[in-house]
Structure 1
Amino acid sequence: MSLALEHRNSVIAKIMAQYDADSDTAVLPVVSIEDFFEHNWDESSLAPNIAGSGRPPLAECYRILREIRERPTVQDVLIAIHESPYADEPEDEDIWPDSDTIYVLTSATDDEVAEWASPLMPTEIGSKWSCNTDKKPSAAPELMPGMRVVVLWWD
């Protein structure tokens, strides 16, 4: 098994554990930007509706999100998983878990985050966890004082 496939299967295991822990189906599992982007070969795994038609390549998205996370007003950046293949299904081996939602844990304003993320071309900027339920995913850290969630979403 290739290193990339091993990494993908490890990420899928983290996702499946969250599905088990978060029985509310509106709570999307989350992974780190490293988990999502390292070894990811599937350009359609992030914002699939605009992959190849405006959204930068995955490597550039990864760089932009790391830069956002390095800002002093940012606690973390997490990728919310919309859908995941099964690790043990051979016909799914070419599919990476996909996302249309990114959480920025920050004290910055929505406008500031929108400016930082503008090259990624998000459709909307919001402020609630998981499909507007505001239920924090179990794998997300507790917000530090002064921090809140800002959501980048693609249609």
Structure 2
Amino acid sequence: MNDPAVRALKKELKKFDVERPLSSEEAEEMSELSQKLASEFERIAMAAVERGEYALPLVLVPYELFFEGNDDVGSIACNVEVHQGVAWYYAAFKRIASDSTVAAIYVEITDVGEVEDDNDSWPFSDKVHVVTKASDKQIEAWRQELQADEVGLADEADGVEVPKGYQVQVFWWD
């Protein structure tokens, strides 16, 4: 990468390439430089996305991983008028996952920015991908129950295994 800020940070980080344990001050400095380098990479990537040079890949996690230990109401469906709570959404997705027409459910992580600044916050999602062969009527019933603004077919499977006869329905909260 030919970015001057990235080159400078990499050069500074080279001084920590030593065959001895780092002092606590050195470790802290290395950590700060690494965070700055990560921020520079993020800045460069976002600028490329804004220019239309590439799209960021989807980050999909099994729904259990997203909900276990999560009590951050702002992490999902945060725009609904009366939020039922994260535990309610977890229970709803457990019930949907147990339906014989559902093969898997994945939560799309769309933002993790605030997690670094606030240890009580959780990654944010506004989309849940359900691998299903349910009828349109059933999918619409789930959309209404979940208070999702929209539901529709995913553009691509995005690395998700889709059994024959199934499709990926994306529930979205705007």
Q: TM-score, normalised by structure 1?
A: 0.70
Number of residues of Structure 1 aligned to a counterpart in Structure 2: 123
User: Separation in 2 of the partners of 1:100 and 1:110?
Assistant: 21
Tell me the SS of whatever aligns to 2:113: coil
Tell me the SS of whatever aligns to 1:93: coil
Matched residues, percent identical? 33
Q: Which consecutive unaligned segments of at least 5 residues does structure 2 have?
A: 1-53
Tell me the SS of whatever aligns to 1:125: strand
1:85-141 Cα shifts (integer Å, max 9, x gaps) = 376x4x23222101110111001123311213422101011101xxxxx23333x3x
Any residues of structure 2 matched to 1:4-83 within 5 Å, and which?
25-50=55-80, 53-83=81-111
Alignment partner of 2:157 out of 133, 136, 155 = 136
One-letter code of the match for 1:149?
V
Q: What residue is the counterpart of 1:13 in the other structure?
A: none
Shift of 1:36: 0.6
Q: Does 1:152 align with 2:171?
A: yes
Greater RCO, 1 or 2 (C-alpha within 8 Å, sep 6+): 1
Greater radius of gyration (CA): 2
Judge conservation of contact 2:143–2:150 (CA < 8 Å) in 1.
no
One-letter code of the match for 1:44?
G
One-letter code of the match for 1:125?
V
User: Separation in 2 of the partners of 1:118 and 1:49?
Assistant: 14
Higher helix proportion (structure 1 or 2):
2
CA RMSD of aligned residues (A): 2.2
Q: Does 1:121 align with 2:147?
A: yes
User: Separation in 1 of the partners of 2:145 and 2:138?
Assistant: 13
